[in-house]
Structure 1
């Protein structure tokens, strides 16, 4: 496993553009380029990652007619191996889950409930009686929770599911697994972590009645548009990467013609490096300092990182 992960990280490292490293000052960057080359890379980064104006976006703007579909790919970087995910392009749905690590202290497989949720959700989608039926994320999450709990699966998990229903993006999530929808390189919609207190997210487990999911889950929808990018991830992503950083990575990846796999690898690789930079602020450190009883600290949170990147494209592509 360690050798496999080392190879995976090496390959991802090679795909993170120097422009990104220079722009964000990643502390695990490669050897510095020559002075002239550094200027060239820095200038390139400035063009690709330039801040957008702050004019508000209207998510209710008219959307051109025509069917849409999603294409997606994923990247997972393992720390404890407690994340899980699934996806079906035919059904237009993806999801992620993150097993609650505290169960490790009780010598329980902390990944079990996360895997159960995602396996159940995928099985539900692929065995649906009517192929092409639009998926309701909340219903899918409820059914997956019910099946996983009924199986007596141990531990607990957060989860997020996003679907494309016609020309509408829908979502349901519990805890600090989440998503962000990007349009023209800017965040259009973004999940907000559900937490009881710092580093203690809402979670699903076998002790909860599945009907409770409807009450706990944050649900919503937004009209989709060709060219939208959706990033779905566990807290290993969102604890370590800010919205502004994600916006700039998405703009860069779009400008360079990244595939969903390329984009997922770069986002996950950036989160991995940011988690291990002790001298930079992250969403995790900013939130931690705002909580009573938490001392001053900077840096990220090393964790499993799962990233699913979805591109919304015309159905005829």
Structure 2
């Protein structure tokens, strides 16, 4: 029987640290072997809404269904979404490892994950976006109705067989916009296999990159590919950063 041994770490955007940032993350016990991140959309603050509150509820209520025996995160979020009460919107990425080693992920937006096996990246999720810097997201409006055009049914789904010793790194865009996959891999491979220390270390590394002014990060590479006018910018992308590291055992 395979389980996830996981830990997470969050570093808020310095400009939003006074209210804890807008990211939320969830790490279960090995028994339920579930990990998830959600990135609250900051635009809601202008309407008097705490962007993180929706992200928190989205993860909490979806995980309640996982605890009741649901194995598929897409089914879980599709079932929890109609029962959300907080106003706001967020990206969403949740993974659940079943006892038979099948890892199921539902991803909505520009958070994501990668799986490392034997020193190589086995799989890396793709950004789920309508356009550059316009990710898919789930939301509830001030009227209590679904906000925007995206729904849980739009989630990108991943399903894979994991093995003992596999490592999962999941994070919000604050991680993935500032660290290249090869940097994540090098950090994991170069440090002791301790999920708590690795999650903190990767978050710290991403934060350090986000504060630099002369580096070249994935966010601006994608801006260049999308032919955005600021594609020549250098330096990191300041943001909330949430990281989860899991070891399969």
Could you state the TM-score of these two structures normalised by the residue count of structure 1? 0.70
What is the count of residue pairs matched by the alignment?
A: 235
* Pairs within 5 Å for 1:180-191: 180-191=114-125
Whether the aligned pair in 2 keeps the contact of 1:236 and 1:302 (CA below 8 Å) is: yes
The question of 1:231 aligning with 2:166 is answered no
Please state how far the C-alpha of 1:97 moved relative to its aligned partner: 0.4
Whether the aligned pair in 2 keeps the contact of 1:142 and 1:210 (CA below 8 Å) is: no
Give the helix-richer structure, 1 or 2. 1
Whether the aligned pair in 2 keeps the contact of 1:278 and 1:298 (CA below 8 Å) is: yes
Alignment correspondent of 1:212: 151
The question of 1:192 aligning with 2:126 is answered yes
Distance 1:188 1:213, change over 3 A: same
Q: Distance in 2 between matches of 1:286 and 1:108?
A: 32
Q: Distance in 1 between matches of 2:171 and 2:44?
A: 21
Task: Supply the RMSD in Å over aligned alpha carbons.
Answer: 1.8
Whether the aligned pair in 1 keeps the contact of 2:4 and 2:248 (CA below 8 Å) is: yes
Q: Distance in 1 between matches of 2:177 and 2:149?
A: 27
Alignment correspondent of 1:173: 107
Please state how far the C-alpha of 1:180 moved relative to its aligned partner: 0.7
The question of 1:201 aligning with 2:123 is answered no
Whether the aligned pair in 1 keeps the contact of 2:41 and 2:90 (CA below 8 Å) is: yes
Whether the aligned pair in 1 keeps the contact of 2:138 and 2:150 (CA below 8 Å) is: no
Whether the aligned pair in 1 keeps the contact of 2:72 and 2:104 (CA below 8 Å) is: yes
Q: Distance in 1 between matches of 2:127 and 2:42?
A: 17
Give the strand-richer structure, 1 or 2. 2
Whether the aligned pair in 2 keeps the contact of 1:173 and 1:218 (CA below 8 Å) is: yes
Please state how far the C-alpha of 1:146 moved relative to its aligned partner: 2.3
Q: Distance in 1 between matches of 2:222 and 2:46?
A: 25
The question of 1:87 aligning with 2:27 is answered yes
Alignment correspondent of 2:189: 251
Whether the aligned pair in 2 keeps the contact of 1:146 and 1:210 (CA below 8 Å) is: no
Distance 1:162 1:125, change over 3 A: same
Any stretches of 5+ residues in structure 2 without a counterpart?
Answer: 141-145
Instruction: Work out which of the two has the higher radius of gyration on C-alpha atoms and give 1 or 2.
Output: 1
Alignment correspondent of 1:290: 225
